[in-house]
Chain A
Amino acid sequence: MDYALQQLLNALAFGAEYSLVALGLAVVFSIMGLVNFAHGEIIGVSAYSVFLAAALGLTSPIVAVLLAVVAAALAAVTFERVAFRPVRYAPTTTGLLTAFGVSIVVQNLFMLLISPKPQSVSILNSLNQMWFFGPFAVSSLQVLELVVSGLTILALVLFLNKSTLGLAIRAASRDFATVRLMGIRANRVIATAFAISGALAGIAAVFILARRGSVSPDLGFGLVLKAFVACVIGGFGSLAGAAAGGMLLGFIEVGLLVALPQEYGGFKDALTYVIIVALLVYRPEGLLGQRIELGDKEI
């Protein structure tokens, strides 16, 4: 029973983290059709900012958390301004490849300017402790992941449903031109979407740092690949789908960890992807996705 609860918490915590990252991808994709492969490098910028600040003498974990979130949001907005704006109205493939290019550039800049090797960051280690509830031992980090992700998603839902800018983002996900006809500035809507996407990545970066205690150039890359897969199973562009897909991914991974014998543990990632691709055979549009309706006259 204890073991089952522990694995459930594991799955929820993994799932929550994937959901956060997948939501960041989906927010940007839904409004501008950009498949942001550089999302992992936003996590990277966030983590390296904390690393640099700690190297310069920062000791407060709270400041480090704030720094991580702010740095990530700024990085996301900067990427948009510098690299993605020129291809804003270009075909999806063009944007996707641009983002892939940005990802390569930033990853290699970490190597070039800091080091190709992992660097230790201990400032957030205090987030990762064991908490004891009577007979149960629980990782504080997993509880935090679950609670913070839940609250963040709640805040995002409120923002998207209550604020004018949030409504504009939702409207823009279907019909950007008409949002501009409301006099709402396209640049502002897109910058906000990127800032949200970045902030979500920054929160994920905090969790990664607390768990791994180190930064490396490809820190966010693998996580973002999984988040993409979460988006695809959820239905690309659907926010609810991204969150659900992330959770599902967490459960599949933990399920495989439990089910696979020790010596086959290395196949966990491969099998995760196989399961997901198999799901796509039955639902090519994803769990919560819709067939894209073509043929609406563009304005």
Chain B
Amino acid sequence: MLTVENLSVRYGAVAAVRELSLELGRGELVALLGPNGAGKSSTINALTGLVTPTAGRIVFDGRDISRTRTEDRIRGGLTSTPEGRHIFANLTVGENLRLGAATRRDPKGVRADTDRFLALFPVLAERYTQAAGTLSGGEQQMLAISRSLMSRPKLLLLDEPSLGLAPRIVAQIFDFIGQLKTEGLTLLVVEQNATQALRFADRVYVVSSGALRYDGPPAKLADEHGLLNLYLGG
């Protein structure tokens, strides 16, 4: 589904990501873990094209998208829920969902999907015509993920879905992520919260200082204390 080869991102003299290679199979849920400043968000932004990598190749769904514009990557079925949610605070909940479906031309399908997310998250239905900025953090995260899903992506990149949320809400969000996986969606979840991220992950990558430190099943990561410490110690 997604192959990343030797991806490097630099901001001036600072190397944020160094020769990172990743592989995601269809229907897989892969967790990308690492401490603060490890280059996780830079990786995601390079995948969506919001930052331009200095080197490397990104192949998505059989096509090389390394030079493709962000908008066209999204239209090709890759989407991302950015860190900090970035819901459009000045628009209503409904308008946020509508923008998520901006690339679709099937009004019926859009309505069906909208109804589905409103049923899943009743609070979104209650607040449908209110400014999204008035939602709580957890509700905003539900809206942000729903909004991403409105474009019917093949691959969803989730950047720190647990950021700043209460443990109960985090568990709820990850239950939903697990459900998405069972529905066949391919997911790459970037996290600092290892416990939650490892609940449903098929495989785990650990990055630190922009480079890959571990690649394998979650069970083994828990055994290798050194790696876990490296990552938790940040």
Residues of A within 8 A of B (CB): 164, 167-168, 170-171, 173-175, 177-186, 296-297, 299
When each residue 169-207 of chain B gets 1 if its CB lies under 8 Å from chain A and 0 otherwise, what string results?
000000000000000000000000000000000000000
**Any A CB within 8 A of the CB of B128:** no
**Any A CB within 8 A of the CB of B39:** no
Which chain A residues lie closer than 8 Å to B50 at the CB level?
Answer: 177, 180-181, 299
**If the complex has contacts A171-B99, A174-B89, are A181 and B83 also in contact, measured as CB distance less than 8 A?**
no
Counted as pairs of residues, one from A and one from B, with CB atoms less than 8 Å apart, the total is: 75
Taking a contact as CB atoms under 8 Å apart, the answer to whether A167 and B84 are in contact is no
Taking a contact as CB atoms under 8 Å apart, the answer to whether A179 and B99 are in contact is yes
**Distance (Å) between the CB of A42 and the closest chain B CB?**
27
Taking a contact as CB atoms under 8 Å apart, the answer to whether B102 and A175 are in contact is no
Closest A-B pairs by Cβ, 3 of them: A183-B74, A183-B103, A171-B88
Which single member of B71, B83, B98 contacts A183 (CB below 8 Å)? B71
Taking a contact as CB atoms under 8 Å apart, the answer to whether B103 and A184 are in contact is yes
Which chain A residues lie closer than 8 Å to B146 at the CB level?
Answer: none
> CB-nearest residue of chain B relative to A296?
B84
State the CA gap A182–B80 with chains docked (Å): 9
Taking a contact as CB atoms under 8 Å apart, the answer to whether B88 and A181 are in contact is no
Taking a contact as CB atoms under 8 Å apart, the answer to whether B79 and A181 are in contact is yes
| Most chain B Cβ neighbours within 10 Å, of A171, A174, A179, A186 | A171
**Any A CB within 8 A of the CB of B209:** no
**Distance (Å) between the CB of A214 and the closest chain B CB?**
42
**If the complex has contacts A168-B99, A170-B91, A171-B91, are A180 and B86 also in contact, measured as CB distance less than 8 A?**
no
State the CA gap A184–B75 with chains docked (Å): 9
**Distance (Å) between the CB of A168 and the closest chain B CB?**
6
Which residues from 73 to 106 on chain B have a C-beta closer than 8 Å to any C-beta of chain A?
Answer: 74-75, 79-80, 82-84, 86, 88-91, 95, 98-100, 102-103
CB<8 Å pairs between A and B, sample of 6: A171-B95, A174-B90, A178-B86, A180-B50, A183-B79, A299-B82
State the CA gap A182–B102 with chains docked (Å): 7
**Any A CB within 8 A of the CB of B45:** yes
Taking a contact as CB atoms under 8 Å apart, the answer to whether A167 and B41 are in contact is no
State the CA gap A267–B230 with chains docked (Å): 71
Residues of B within 8 A of A (CB): 41, 45, 48, 50, 69-71, 74-75, 79-80, 82-84, 86, 88-91, 95, 98-100, 102-103, 147-148, 151
| Most chain A Cβ neighbours within 10 Å, of B75, B90, B95 | B95
Which chain A residues lie closer than 8 Å to B98 at the CB level?
Answer: 164, 167
Which single member of A164, A175, A183, A296 contacts B88 (CB below 8 Å)? A175
Which chain A residues lie closer than 8 Å to B71 at the CB level?
Answer: 180, 183-186
Taking a contact as CB atoms under 8 Å apart, the answer to whether B45 and A299 are in contact is yes
Taking a contact as CB atoms under 8 Å apart, the answer to whether A183 and B102 are in contact is yes
State the CA gap A43–B230 with chains docked (Å): 62
> CB-nearest residue of chain B relative to A166?
B95
Taking a contact as CB atoms under 8 Å apart, the answer to whether A178 and B88 are in contact is yes
Which chain A residues lie closer than 8 Å to B70 at the CB level?
Answer: 180-181, 186
**Distance (Å) between the CB of B99 and the closest chain A CB?**
5
> CB-nearest residue of chain B relative to A184?
B102
For the complex with contacts A181-B74, A183-B74, A184-B103, 6 further pairs of A-B residues with Cβ separation under 8 Å are: A170-B90, A171-B88, A177-B86, A178-B86, A180-B71, A185-B69
**If the complex has contacts A170-B90, A170-B91, are A182 and B84 also in contact, measured as CB distance less than 8 A?**
no
Taking a contact as CB atoms under 8 Å apart, the answer to whether A178 and B82 are in contact is yes
**Distance (Å) between the CB of B117 and the closest chain A CB?**
15
State the CA gap A174–B100 with chains docked (Å): 16
Which chain B residues lie closer than 8 Å to A179 at the CB level?
Answer: 99
> CB-nearest residue of chain A relative to B80?
A181
**Distance (Å) between the CB of B40 and the closest chain A CB?**
12
Which single member of B89, B90, B103 contacts A182 (CB below 8 Å)? B103
Which chain A residues lie closer than 8 Å to B151 at the CB level?
Answer: 182-183
Which chain A residues lie closer than 8 Å to B99 at the CB level?
Answer: 164, 167-168, 171, 179, 182, 184
Taking a contact as CB atoms under 8 Å apart, the answer to whether A297 and B102 are in contact is no
Which chain A residues lie closer than 8 Å to B90 at the CB level?
Answer: 170-171, 173-174
Taking a contact as CB atoms under 8 Å apart, the answer to whether B41 and A299 are in contact is yes
> CB-nearest residue of chain B relative to A297?
B84
